[in-house]
């Protein structure tokens, strides 16, 4: 570091500060909208940074990135839909908090946690980069496999009511992750002969569908506001700071987990926040409250995912191996500016990279004011806007969000279909989160295991490659065992205090019909998986065989349990009330996804939004109010349409109209 | 179905009008969307980023890079012909991908569906080891592999890819069987090599440049020694007939008019001629080539013939 003062001076120049504010603000908004990702925003902006001074350009890109990871929390808390995959775990406690009227507190907690996590990540980036990069290289395929398993143990936590149903959901998610061209083996798997399925199920499209569609159906099912408005209480900043101070160790641990997992290329924010959540719950004395709106849960996930920003830059800058997709875009921008990332970067004596790191710290600090203000508006907006506008708005966001991922109408279809599947599964007591965990972690687990198998096979020592000779894996396996033991230990403790509490509920239960039907469907799926696996190469068939067998066994067990009345109550399970309106919503979204590539995005969206507005309207609709609603729908559809078409330059499908 | 017919008529008319408008106006008449069918950070992305500035200088229009990754590029290529053919949307195309994928399975497109207008560079195959590897020469690897067939692991990106082809060609020519380990993306292969998970890596000269002192290239698949690696022999020098790598170019939807294709080809040719662009590319290990639209058919026929035999072998292994 040639001259710390001059670096600080350059990073703090008025122009750079202004750019950082704009970047954080823009990033936060993009992150809050599901489907619009940091990668996309940064990719679009890179050419504009060519005309800037390299340091300024990089500060903008870093600010957008860190803002977007943070912004993902808003949608997670307020509408139960992670704005980015790294906010998946934020829905677990964020949405329950919002439901009970503490949405403002949850947003402030997420802000504090994000700033803290971001600072820890950035600090480690500045101080320990070269050393931590070596650590990243010590994690190999085997460790990725065990890390994915550690993430999957969260299923046990998330399916408190019924572990068997949770595991079935997890295996279903892993099955979804296997659709498409197998990376190892090269076979086409479970595409049903459709070329459009070759790329597999996109995780973001699945997230939007599985989380958001059931929320929308729930919103139209009953009158009343989406969230409890609560009273106007300001930011609740001091309450949030108090909670954060009480959770200081949780924050620190989660931030370190976030940085460490962020360093691992390909693992990224989603795994980091899942593991941090799992560890926070395991260590907490209030672990029973996790999943029901526990502030500690939000603090853990949001500090971990923002810590991955700094962490992800470590392999990017030191090894020239991007940690996450946004890192990769920024790496490209650095190379265009003539800064060669990789082993030689820190010896080159170029200060730009230090200005960039300082800019990242400043951007992270700016998240506090920007985030509190944006969060407050977002919260008041979601709470106060009538459902007749909120439902079409959120539905429209899910459609353009999933379209924007690949500029492909196919993803919209995937989103809607998975959303309806997720809703139906929810009715049968199969929660969405185990499915999402399986989908997010399935590929990492499969590829890690298969590579360890191939490499172990070549070296003639499979077990050594998988576990015996790998000390880091021992540590992860120990954590997995600890997490698995936890429910057992707790059961014993509870059992001692209250004798036989479980049996009391079993008496008088009737057959769990929905669970039974769901289990039969999963059993049929398992048979299909096993039959199709026979036509695959050995490398591509191993996991389908394992998943199919597991799914078949668990479905059989659940069929027996459902017959005996062990349905279980899932905290995420959906209510079947108001199914009529729900079906209209589902049908509208399906029609939307089918028609818009032919008729045109704008026209179809306006029509669909009007239908949804009427579906979500309870009580009489007066003429002036109808006019106001229609006007808002036109403005909102038009605004986002123009953003997609003109600002993001997404190629829209060549349709009849526009 | 009157509705369908009417819709088709309107659609066809609209397309025709758009086509004429596109031909009449100067190309490009607005920002050009450049779709990269892979994730950011790879060779396709970096070279597209290098093209942005000269493109802007030559045409006065922005070149906007977007990523549509999926199925090793197949998802984007399968959707290419459904995009508007006015020249404002162009897509990166890669060899051997667009030849091998349709040969080995049904990826939703055929090689001849893709209208390539220019091939602008290639990255020569290279066999790399990490700096402290016991293998000093290519012969060391061949000897070790012959002593213990399949006992040496070679990393590479994806299955049925350029790296996978290189592994197969090498086995054919040298008789050394390596166990090919597929990864997702170049970044993952680099950490696998530097971290010691695989013994050798099928990469490109670009990987050798990026990783600097951390890795050593044992041989490079060029005709003559690469200027950045004057001490590294070519495969040919060592008696192994391997010259090639991954070629990258630009394609357009099939509805794009001929004159727009020609103009685009001319522009990319001018980008390739930009001295700053060439220096940037060559310093990173890319080999700039010029295959304009007029020469494309001959080039594709030659490459397709070269990949056909190895595709048969890869298919037999599935």
Domains contained in chain B, CATH given: 29-122+245-317 (3.40.190.150), 124-220 (3.40.190.10)
Confirm if A74 and A103 have CB atoms less than 8 A apart: no
Task: State the average pLDDT for chain A.
Answer: 85
Give the A:B interface size as CB pairs under 8 Å: 203
Choose, out of B17, B50, B61, B75, the residue to mutate when testing the contact with A (most A CBs < 10 Å): B75
Closest CA to A202 of B113, B232, B69: B69
pLDDT of residue A498: 47
- Helix ranges (H only) for A284-351 are 295-318, 325-336
Residue A100 gets which letter from DSSP? I
Closest residue in chain B to residue A185, using alpha carbons only: B159
CB < 8 Å to A39, chain B: 40, 67
Query: Around B56, how many Cα atoms within 13 Å sit in the side-chain half-sphere?
Result: 15
pLDDT of residue A495: 55
Place of tokens 């522009």: B267
Is A88 inside any structural domain? yes
- ipTM reported for the complex, 2 dp: 0.83
Closest CA to A133 of A345, A304, A332, A348: A345
pLDDT > 70? residue A515:
yes
Is A255 inside any structural domain? yes
Q: Judge: A459–B192 Cβ closer than 8 Å, yes or no.
A: no
Residue A493: pLDDT band by 50, 70, 90 thresholds? low
pLDDT > 60? residue A215:
yes
Mean predicted confidence (pLDDT) in A595-601: 91
Q: Judge: B70–A654 Cβ closer than 8 Å, yes or no.
A: no
Mean predicted confidence (pLDDT) in A359-363: 90
Two tokens, residue A67: 């803002």
Closest residue in chain B to residue A137, using alpha carbons only: B195
Position with higher pLDDT, A564 vs B317: A564
Poorest-pLDDT segment among A390-394, A523-527, B38-42 = B38-42
pLDDT of residue B2: 42
Is A455 inside any structural domain? yes
Q: How far away is chain B from the Cα of A496, in angstroms, using its nearest Cα?
A: 49
Percent of chain B past pLDDT 70, that is, above it, reads 92
Number of domains in chain A: 1
- In which domain, by residue range, is A523 found? 9-230+243-487+510-563
pLDDT > 70? residue A230:
no
Return the number of other C-beta atoms located less than 10 Å from residue B302's C-beta: 9
Residues 351-370 of chain A with CB under 8 A from chain B are none
pLDDT in tens, A112-138: 999 999 999 999 998 888 888 888 888
Choose, out of B210, B212, B253, the residue to mutate when testing the contact with A (most A CBs < 10 Å): B210
Calpha distance A349→A10 (Å, rounded): 16
Confirm if B168 and B162 have CB atoms less than 8 A apart: no
pLDDT in tens, A314-340: 988 888 888 788 888 888 888 777 777
pLDDT > 80? residue A494:
no
Sign for the CA dihedral angle at A234, A239, A240, A241 comes to positive
Q: Judge: B159–A184 Cβ closer than 8 Å, yes or no.
A: yes
pLDDT > 90? residue A502:
no
pLDDT > 60? residue B25:
no
- Give the angle A495-A499-A501 at the CA atoms, nearest 5°: 85
Q: How far away is chain A from the Cα of B28, in angstroms, using its nearest Cα?
A: 15
Is A92 inside any structural domain? yes
pLDDT of residue A135: 84
Confirm if B120 and B290 have CB atoms less than 8 A apart: yes
pLDDT > 90? residue A603:
yes
Position with higher pLDDT, B255 vs B2: B255
pLDDT > 70? residue A504:
no
Highest mean pLDDT among A115-119, A206-210, A267-271: A115-119
Calpha distance B135→B141 (Å, rounded): 6
Rg of chain B's alpha carbons, rounded to an integer?
A: 21
Residues 363-402 of chain A with CB under 8 A from chain B are none
pLDDT of residue B239: 92
Percent of chain A past pLDDT 70, that is, above it, reads 91
Task: State the average pLDDT for chain B.
Answer: 87
pLDDT of residue B23: 42
- Residue partners of A112: CB distance under 8 A and separation at least 6: A240, A241, A244, A299, A368
Two tokens, residue A148: 């994915």
Choose, out of B45, B49, B150, the residue to mutate when testing the contact with A (most A CBs < 10 Å): B49
Poorest-pLDDT segment among A248-252, A561-565, B267-271 = A561-565
pLDDT of residue A497: 52
Residue among B68, B151, B195 whose CB faces A459 most closely: B151
pLDDT > 70? residue B286:
yes
pLDDT in tens, A567-593: 665 545 455 555 788 899 999 999 999
pLDDT in tens, A18-66: 999 999 999 998 888 887 877 878 887 887 777 788 888 888 888 999 9
Choose, out of A46, A130, A135, A137, the residue to mutate when testing the contact with B (most B CBs < 10 Å): A137
Closest residue in chain A to residue B277, using alpha carbons only: A336
pLDDT of residue A530: 95
pLDDT in tens, B204-248: 999 999 888 889 999 999 999 999 999 999 999 999 999 889 999
Query: Around A540, how many Cα atoms within 13 Å sit in the side-chain half-sphere?
Result: 26
CB < 8 Å to B318, chain A: 185-187, 537
Q: Judge: A320–B68 Cβ closer than 8 Å, yes or no.
A: no
pLDDT of residue A602: 93
Is A89 inside any structural domain? yes
Mean predicted confidence (pLDDT) in A404-420: 90
Is A635 inside any structural domain? no
pLDDT in tens, B237-254: 999 999 889 999 999 999
Residue A8: pLDDT band by 50, 70, 90 thresholds? confident
pLDDT of residue A500: 43
Backbone angles phi, psi at A163, to 5 degrees: -65, -40
A445 in contact with chain B, both atoms CB, cutoff 8 A? no
- Residue partners of A500: CB distance under 8 A and separation at least 6: none
Backbone angles phi, psi at B32, to 5 degrees: -105, 125
Mean predicted confidence (pLDDT) in B108-123: 93
A651 in contact with chain B, both atoms CB, cutoff 8 A? yes
Strands B89-95 and B245-252 come out as: antiparallel
Highest mean pLDDT among A130-134, A217-221, B50-54: B50-54
pLDDT of residue B27: 81
**Burial group, residue B225, by CB count within 10 angstroms (0-12, 13-18, 19+):** middle
pLDDT > 60? residue A181:
yes
Whole-number Cα distances in Å, A171 to A260, A391, A558: 27, 31, 14
Is A600 inside any structural domain? no
């Amino acid at each position: 570091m040639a001259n710390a003062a001059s670096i600080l001076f350059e990073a703090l120049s008025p122009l750079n500060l202004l750019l950082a504010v704009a970047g954080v603000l823009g990033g936060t908004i993009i992150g809050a909208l599901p489907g619009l990702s940091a990668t996309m925003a940064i990719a679009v902006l890179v050419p504009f940074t060519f005309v800037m001074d390299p340091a300024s350009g990089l500060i903008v890109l870093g600010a957008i990135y860190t803002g977007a990871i943070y912004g993902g929390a808003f949608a997670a808390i307020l509408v139960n839909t992670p704005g980015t995959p790294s906010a998946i775990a934020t829905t677990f406690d964020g949405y329950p908090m919002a439901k009970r009227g503490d949405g403002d507190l949850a947003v402030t907690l997420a802000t504090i946690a994000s700033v803290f996590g971001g600072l820890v990540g950035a600090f480690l980036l500045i101080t320990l980069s070269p050393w931590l990069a070596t650590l990243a290289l010590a994690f190999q395929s085997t460790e990725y496999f065990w890390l994915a398993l550690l993430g999957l143990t969260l299923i046990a936590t998330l399916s408190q009511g019924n572990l068997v149903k949770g595991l079935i959901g997890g295996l279903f998610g892993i099955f979804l992750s296997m659709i498409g061209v197998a990376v190892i083996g090269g076979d086409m798997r479970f595409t049903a002969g459709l070329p459009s399925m070759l790329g597999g199920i996109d995780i973001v499209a699945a997230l939007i569908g599985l989380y958001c569609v059931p929320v929308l159906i729930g919103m139209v099912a009953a009158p009343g506001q989406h969230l409890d408005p609560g009273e106007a209480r300001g930011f609740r900043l001091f309450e949030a700071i108090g909670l954060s101070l009480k959770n200081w160790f949780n924050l620190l641990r989660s931030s370190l987990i976030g940085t460490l997992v962020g360093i691992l290329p390909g693992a990224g924010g989603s795994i980091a926040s899942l593991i941090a959540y799992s560890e926070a719950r395991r260590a907490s004395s209030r672990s029973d409250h996790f999943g029901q709106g526990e502030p500690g849960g939000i603090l853990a996930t949001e500090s971990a995912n923002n810590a991955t920003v700094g962490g992800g830059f470590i392999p990017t800058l030191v090894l020239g191996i991007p940690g996450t997709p946004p890192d990769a875009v920024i790496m490209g921008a650095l190379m265009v500016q003539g800064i060669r990332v990789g082993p030689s970067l820190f010896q080159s004596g170029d200060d730009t990279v230090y200005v960039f790191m300082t800019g990242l710290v400043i951007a992270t600090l700016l998240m506090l004011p920007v985030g509190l203000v944006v969060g407050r508006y977002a919260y008041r907006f979601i709470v106060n806007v009538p459902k007749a506008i909120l439902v079409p708005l959120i539905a429209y966001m899910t459609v353009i969000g999933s379209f924007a991922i690949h500029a492909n109408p196919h993803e919209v279809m995937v989103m809607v279909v998975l959303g309806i599947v997720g809703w139906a599964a929810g009715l049968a007591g199969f929660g969405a989160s185990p499915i999402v965990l399986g989908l997010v972690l399935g590929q990492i687990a499969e590829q890690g295991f298969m590579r360890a198998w191939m490499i172990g096979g070549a070296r003639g020592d499979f077990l050594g490659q998988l576990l015996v000779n790998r000390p880091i894996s021992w540590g992860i396996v120990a954590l997995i065992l600890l997490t698995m033991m936890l429910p057992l230990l707790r059961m014993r403790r509870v059992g001692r205090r209250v004798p036989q509490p479980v049996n009391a509920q079993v008496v008088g239960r009737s057959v769990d019909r929905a669970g039974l039907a769901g289990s039969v469907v999963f059993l049929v799926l398992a048979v299909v998986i096993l039959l199709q696996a026979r036509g695959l190469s050995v490398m591509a068939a191993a996991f389908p065989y394992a998943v199919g067998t597991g799914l078949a066994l668990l479905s059989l067990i659940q069929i027996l349990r459902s017959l005996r009345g062990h349905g279980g109550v899932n905290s995420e399970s959906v209510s079947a009330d108001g199914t009529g309106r729900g079906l209209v919503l589902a049908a509208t979204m399906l029609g939307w996804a089918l028609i818009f590539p032919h008729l045109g995005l704008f026209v179809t969206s306006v029509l669909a939004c009007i239908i949804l507005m009427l579906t979500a309207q309870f009580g009489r609709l007066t003429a002036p109010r109808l006019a106001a609603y229609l006007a808002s729908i036109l403005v909102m559809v038009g605004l986002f349409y123009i953003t997609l078409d003109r600002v993001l330059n997404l190629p829209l499908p060549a349709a009849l109209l526009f | 179905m009157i509705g369908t017919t009417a819709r088709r008529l309107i659609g066809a008319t609209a397309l025709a009008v758009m086509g004429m408008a596109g031909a009449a106006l100067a190309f490009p008449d607005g920002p050009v969307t450049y779709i990269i069918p892979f994730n950011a950070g790879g060779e396709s992305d970096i070279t597209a980023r290098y093209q942005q500035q000269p493109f802007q200088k030559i045409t006065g229009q922005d070149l906007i890079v977007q990523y549509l990754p999926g199925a090793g590029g197949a998802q984007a290529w399968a959707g290419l012909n459904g995009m508007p053919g006015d020249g404002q949307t162009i897509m990166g195309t890669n060899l051997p991908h667009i030849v091998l994928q349709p040969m080995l399975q049904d990826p939703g497109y055929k090689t001849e569906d893709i209208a390539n207008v220019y091939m602008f560079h290639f990255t020569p195959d290279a066999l790399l080891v990490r700096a402290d590897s016991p293998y000093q020469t290519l012969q060391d690897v061949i000897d070790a592999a012959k002593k213990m067939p399949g006992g040496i692991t070679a990393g590479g990106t994806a299955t049925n890819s350029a790296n996978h082809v290189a592994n197969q060609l090498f086995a054919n020519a040298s008789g050394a069987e390596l166990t090919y380990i597929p990864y997702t993306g170049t970044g993952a292969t680099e950490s696998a090599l530097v971290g010691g998970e695989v013994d050798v890596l099928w990469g490109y000269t670009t990987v050798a440049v990026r990783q600097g002192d951390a890795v050593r290239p044992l041989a490079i698949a060029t005709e003559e020694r690469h200027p950045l690696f004057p001490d590294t022999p070519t495969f040919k020098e060592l008696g192994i007939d391997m010259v090639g790598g991954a070629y990258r170019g630009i394609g357009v939807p099939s509805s794009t008019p001929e004159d727009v294709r020609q103009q685009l080809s001319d522009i990319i040719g001018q980008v390739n001629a930009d001295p700053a662009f060439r220096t940037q590319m060559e310093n990173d290990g890319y080999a700039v080539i010029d295959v304009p639209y007029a020469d494309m058919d001959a080039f594709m026929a030659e490459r397709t013939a070269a990949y056909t035999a190895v595709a048969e072998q890869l298919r037999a292994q599935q």
